[in-house]
Every structure is written in structure tokens, then in C-alpha cells.
Amino acid sequence: MTERPQQYRFHQGDRVLPFAASEYDARLAGLRQIMADQGVEAAIFTSMHNIAYYSGFLYCSFGRPYGLVVTPTQSVTISAGIDAGQPWRRCHGDNITYTDWQRDNYWRAILSVTGPGRVIGYEGDHLTLLQSQKLDAFLSPKAKVDIAPATMKSRMMKSKAEIELIIHGANVADVGGFAIREAVKEGAREIDVAMAGRDAMELEIARRFPDAEYRDTWVWFQSGINTDGAHNPVTARKLQRGDILSLNTFPMISGYYTALERTMFVGECDAASRRIWDINVAAHEYGISLLKPGASCAEVTQKLNTFFEEHQVLQYRTFGYGHSFGVLSHYYGREAGLELREDIDTVLEPGMVISMEPMLTIPDGQPGAGGYREHDILVITEDGNIDITKYPYGPDFNIVG
């Protein structure tokens, strides 16, 4: 009978990665310092973001587990047989393919790298209870250490190469924004406008990065009452004159997520809506001025709360004022430790990338009803910030169609 292995190495084709090998070597060096500081002998990553951050490989789970095992001398991605050689072509380091012939070959492949009885680093914000039990059963760890918080801090600080890729992403988001602006007209459906923006961005990504993998670029384009939530899905609603609109473009380049978000109106904007819009734009500009080294996320949040309170609209704020950007994750590129919220005390430092995105939602039936949102991406510098979003905001440019 044909041999049915538990695992094997399927390495074929040329390797293509978002960054140079030196970038991943530097990230792994930082990780190994974290491991040494915390006494970790082998780190097991299971999340999209850490596997992509440390190896370049962005997996598509489709019901199967994936991993990255890092030891003081090895970095090995663990992938399913259904993907053949693609994970190896898209990762830095070694790759092991596990088979479906026997349940839990995934953990046997990990064990082949770690060995039993080691101090294991894991991601407490991602490893499920079920997989944690299997980790214990197969690896018999001497101890377990949650290294997710430390790796998050590493991801919050961007390298020069990361910032360059994020700037490309912001440029592509702008391309989608301009395509949406051209597509807005009375009678157009939300889905039609969204597709125009998505298609423009995907073509632009392919032009800028001809060797990349293309996935997960999308648009949320909302109109009327559908603007009340920032993440409301696209519908087939037809645009009407005087509608408030919310433009949201989300290009994804090699696992890195960026965004552009703007308030728009179809043809005209009434006085009550214009008042709320102007307040939100002023908050946006004020918020951008606050993003500089030494300011804490909580401090920026409190100052913007005071601004909205003075204009008697704080009760219409629905979420925090911004968040970080970077590699794709279950947070969509945002790190929980770098959000503009009252309960985040992280201090901004040069090399961080963060958005400013105030939003006010006026309930239906009130004057100016709808959701107002402006969103720029800022790179924190030694003496302030650089705004890498170039699509204009405000009424002068965004009353269209």
C-alpha cells in the first residue's frame, strides 16, 4: 500500500515575499530576545498576524489549523497538504506540510520541531481551549508563557520597509476613493459604487506589486440610514438626491491593511447636516494635530471628548477615535494596545502608524440624521506626524453626483 506519511516537506518554485529576508531576520531576532527574556524555548504561533509578521505567509484556514514554530535556531511554518508548495514559496524559513491521513498530524508536525517537555510560548488571545488542550497532550510542556502581549508591542513599531508598504496602501485607498466619487450619481446602487472602488484598487495593487498575492480588498459604501454604523454591509439601495453617504475603501497588500473613509452627499447637503459635518471635520483636524510623540492614547481621547462636549454632540460618538495599522489580524491590522480610547494609556512614539477617525451618528428622524466619518492614516515622526492619506475631506470636495 502507498506510504501515508504524517508530514513531509513540499518545497517547489521560487520564493516571493513582501519584504527582504533581512526584514524577517530582524523581526525574528527581536522575537528571540523576547523568548530569552521570558524563558521561552519554543514559540508556537497560530494567528494570521503573527505567522504573517514573522514569516511572510498569510494562511487561509478553511477549517484547518496553521502554525509557525520559532526556536533559538529554527523558524518553521506548519501548513496543510491542500496548499502544496504555496506556503513554502511565500514564507521565510522552513516549511513542513502535515497530512490528513491521521487526525492531529498538525500537532505531530509541531512536536517534530519543538520536541517534548519544553517551555512553550503561545498566543493567549488566539489559541482556543481545544487547541490548548491538544498542545498539552502532544507537547507535554514544562511550562507555558503567553507571549502575545510582547509580540503586539513589537508589531506596533513599524520598520522603514513596513511604512513604505503602508504608504502604498494609503495611496491605493485614495485611488479607490476617487473611483467611488466618479461612480456616485442618483439611481446608482450601493453595490455598483462599491464595485467601482474595489476594481480600481485591485488593478492598482496589481500594477504596483506584480508579484504579490491578491486577496481581501473590499469596499463598504453606505447611503442614507445605512450610514449609521461604520461597518454596515453594502446593499442594493439606490442613491437619492440629498443622501448622506459613507465611503470606506480597504485595500489589502501582502497581508497589510489600510483604509480611507469619508462623508459624502449626493447633489446637496441641508443646513442641519452641514452643521454636524463641519463639527466632525473640525474634530478630525484637531485630532490630527494631537497625534505626536509623548501624547497618550487616553489623553488624545479625552481632548476630543471635550471638543465634542463643547459642541453638544458627544452623545452621538459611537466608538474610539482611531487605531493602529499593520499586518492583517483578527483586529484587521489594529493592535489592541494602540487605540484612541479612554482605557488605553499607550504613549505615541516615532514609527507608530495610527488613524484619526472621529464619527458622529445622528439618529434617524432628527435633523442631520446619518453617520459622519472622516479617516486619515498618520505616521508618527520625531516631531509630529505625516498624513499619508491624500483624498480630500469635507463639503467642498464631497458633495457629488
Partners of 251 in beta bridges: none
* Cβ-based neighbours of 126, under 8 Å, separated by 6 or more: 46, 47, 50, 148, 330
Q: How far from chain centre, in Å, is Cα 294?
A: 24
Catalytically annotated residue among 11, 126, 168, 231? 231
Coil, strand, or helix at residue 135? Answer: helix
Radius of gyration of the chain from its Cα atoms, rounded to whole angstroms: 23
Partners of 354 in beta bridges: 324, 378
Alpha helices in 291-380 (DSSP H): 297-310
Of 227, 347, 42, give the one whose Cα is nearest residue 235.
Answer: 227
Angstrom distance (rounded) from CA 333 to CA 336: 10
Of 156, 321, 50, give the one whose Cα is nearest residue 58.
Answer: 50
Partners of 222 in beta bridges: 246
Coil, strand, or helix at residue 211? Answer: coil
Cell matching residue 111: 512536536
Angstrom distance (rounded) from CA 301 to CA 343: 9
Of 54, 60, 7, give the one whose Cα is nearest residue 32.
Answer: 54
- The verdict on whether 231 is a catalytic residue reads yes
Distances (CA, A) of 284 to 259, 307, 367: 15, 11, 21
Partners of 221 in beta bridges: 247
Cβ(322)–Cβ(295) under 8 Å?
A: no
Cβ(80)–Cβ(97) under 8 Å?
A: yes
Distances (CA, A) of 182 to 307, 398, 399: 34, 11, 12
Number of H helices and E strands in the chain, helices first, is 11, 18
CA atoms within a 13 Å half-sphere pointing along the CA-CB vector of 218: 9
Query: Which residues are marked as active site?
Result: 231
